[in-house]
Amino acid sequence: MTAKAKGNQGSWFAEVEAPRHPEVDGKSLPCIWDYWVHGGTKYVDPGYAAGNSKAQKVVEALRRDGFAVMRKRGKDEGKAWRSAGYIAVFEVANVEFDEALTFDIVRRVCELR
């Protein structure tokens, strides 16, 4: 069975269905974008604002659970960001949130369809 994720417009989280990966199966995990990955192992997103409650919830979940769903960034004319689907679930560590959201990508847990 292939793992999958399902999110809702405006939410920064996605529900994961991955029976072969009990560490993430059934969890609501924060979404991250492939655009902000550097060198395959470092995530740096300068667009996170400390006062944003959605951003704070993402940071708390990353620190607590240590997993994230990576989304593929698409581009539409007139729109800066559009999701082009989910890529995979990743384990993360060393989450920092000050002038940017940064963390290490530890491993790829499972592919998503």
Domain with 104 in it: 4-111
Average pLDDT, the chain: 90
**d(C-alpha 101, C-alpha 9), whole Å:** 22
84-106 per-position pLDDT tens digit: 789 999 999 999 998 889 999 99
Please report the pLDDT score of residue 2 as a whole number: 82
Number of domains in the chain: 1
**d(C-alpha 63, C-alpha 15), whole Å:** 18
Mean pLDDT throughout 17-28? Answer: 97
Closest CA to 30 of 47, 13, 5: 13
More confidently predicted of 69 and 84:
69
How far apart, in Å, do the first and last CA atoms of the chain sit?
Answer: 11
Q: Residue 26: phi, psi to the nearest 5?
A: 80, 5
Please report the pLDDT score of residue 1 as a whole number: 64
